[in-house]
Structure 1
């Protein structure tokens, strides 16, 4: 086991970051792409077919980000609600663009059966900086709880609060990238003054089921659909993916609500977190987006069949 702080350029080994270290970390973050031109413009183009709502704003001076949700235009209270979220981790690109591609290409297939609520980019500051955390070095996907320290998480919780009890499906679109191992896990350990030992990034797509509400058939239906688009991650030598036992090919389980994860916020019967692997030599960005779309469609299709 090695000390993360010894290999990370910020902080003192064994000591959690204070305000000075967080400020130093923030000063190193650089904008690499535009939320306005790549995401907001795509949302605006969808406004001729969907209802667009601004559900909050994030203020990270000098930057300000409007948060958008897209809803079915023919919303009916008697229909089940399907929630699709992307960009909870802003650097996970296919989560954002897969959600937008689903709206553009496939959402009309479900228009007369469900209410769609899609939040394609929960974390726009991190989207622009290709980062996992927000500007306060907080991971939104460990912060979905009451009195959340992350503005991104708190805003999404406020958005869905009036719909509790109506959700049938929540699918949260993510990626696992090589930078999880090279940058984000070392940064996390340094921030918290802890130690890490090297891990292994799965080569392929996988899902995270809810250990408190396991739905193996639902997860399998998604795996089967995505396997036609891109490869499913095999287990490592320990029969695991990212340190968790693989309960079926390409499927692990976490206690979603306990960990403050986005996929645990709705109380829906069917929930999952997708994990695409964009750094694989066997996958293209187009395949990654298509895999997310296939996962969303398979999730809705399965949920609409009586079980």
Structure 2
């Protein structure tokens, strides 16, 4: 097998087949444990929230239960809110921020919203600190009908089980140095395309939905998070990760076109957070705090 020049798996210009996916999968090792880091914290919250097992993954004999936590009792008069973390399993503060919010701030919204939180959507990838799932699928590009990503179909079924619409969905993510050192090269190799290096922004930013833009909502979140950690500046082209900066720390993607997690509720208010944990000016606790602050600011805006 020939080295592509930028990634050690696959042949230049040729999309991966099953043999390349198998080789990639064999290169992924467990670096942390979902059942040690995440599940015990979910179990500890069971006295305060209803624990919902909304799916089960079985990847070559490795089994993972998919959990969500729901505020009870359900009140049909209150707005429905969804918080998701760990859609990309390697993005640690998405998972830890969702759990920290449940542990420290969620009680502030009792009687104000019907809260549903899925803290770790992709546990296989969480354990391997990877962007993709077992089948080398980017989960955050796979939320569509007929998706082969089991993480996506399970979460979409959970959302569909709610008869009342959602008002808010905040999806917690990170942009890391490994996006350029590993994941974008892997993507180019997988798809048989050239790898074009990009620039990792230093700081927190948000991705709005270009098909349902909410500029004041995003401005409010950025102002709140700026008190916790620094906001990513635009590059020399006035962009962040190749997208025009619409206001400080805010860019847009078409959620539904890209089959992103943020599209699944069709909520009025949707946002995707992006924290930069590799910054010399941020700590892991700051990154978690930025996620919690973003959730609270989004809730305050949407509820009020």
In structure 1, how many angstroms separate the alpha carbons of the residues matched to 2:133 and 2:296?
30
User: How far apart are residue 74 of structure 1 and its match?
Assistant: 2.5
In structure 2, how many angstroms separate the alpha carbons of the residues matched to 1:293 and 1:169?
15
User: How far apart are residue 5 of structure 1 and its match?
Assistant: 2.7
CA contact (8 A) 2:204 2:273 kept: yes
In structure 1, how many angstroms separate the alpha carbons of the residues matched to 2:46 and 2:251?
37
Q: Secondary structure of the equivalent of 2:161?
A: helix
Root-mean-square deviation (Å): 0.9
After TM superposition, the structure 1 = structure 2 runs for residues 234-253 of structure 1, keeping only pairs within 5 Å, are 234-253=233-252
**After superposition, what is the alpha-carbon deviation per residue over 1:57-102, rounded to whole angstroms, capped at 9, x for unaligned?**
0110120000001000232122111100000000000000100000
Q: Which residue is equivalent to 2:185?
A: 186
Q: 1:165 to 1:51 in 2, by over 3 A?
A: closer
Q: Which residue is equivalent to 2:77?
A: 78
Q: Secondary structure of the equivalent of 1:57?
A: strand
Q: Give TM-score, length-normalised by structure 2.
A: 0.98
After TM superposition, the structure 1 = structure 2 runs for residues 141-152 of structure 1, keeping only pairs within 5 Å, are 141-152=140-151
Q: Secondary structure of the equivalent of 2:47?
A: coil
User: Which runs of no fewer than 5 residues in structure 1 stay unpaired?
Assistant: none
In structure 2, how many angstroms separate the alpha carbons of the residues matched to 1:264 and 1:109?
26
Q: Which residue is equivalent to 1:122?
A: 121
In structure 2, how many angstroms separate the alpha carbons of the residues matched to 1:104 and 1:204?
25
**After superposition, what is the alpha-carbon deviation per residue over 1:217-252, rounded to whole angstroms, capped at 9, x for unaligned?**
000110001000000000001000000001011000
In structure 1, how many angstroms separate the alpha carbons of the residues matched to 2:221 and 2:163?
24
Q: Secondary structure of the equivalent of 2:208?
A: strand
In structure 2, how many angstroms separate the alpha carbons of the residues matched to 1:82 and 1:166?
9
In structure 2, how many angstroms separate the alpha carbons of the residues matched to 1:249 and 1:185?
25
In structure 1, how many angstroms separate the alpha carbons of the residues matched to 2:279 and 2:116?
30
CA contact (8 A) 1:5 1:186 kept: no
In structure 1, how many angstroms separate the alpha carbons of the residues matched to 2:283 and 2:219?
23
CA contact (8 A) 2:98 2:119 kept: yes
Which of structure 1's runs of 4+ aligned residues deviate more than 6 A?
none
CA contact (8 A) 1:164 1:266 kept: no
After TM superposition, the structure 1 = structure 2 runs for residues 1-307 of structure 1, keeping only pairs within 5 Å, are 5-163=4-162, 165-305=164-304
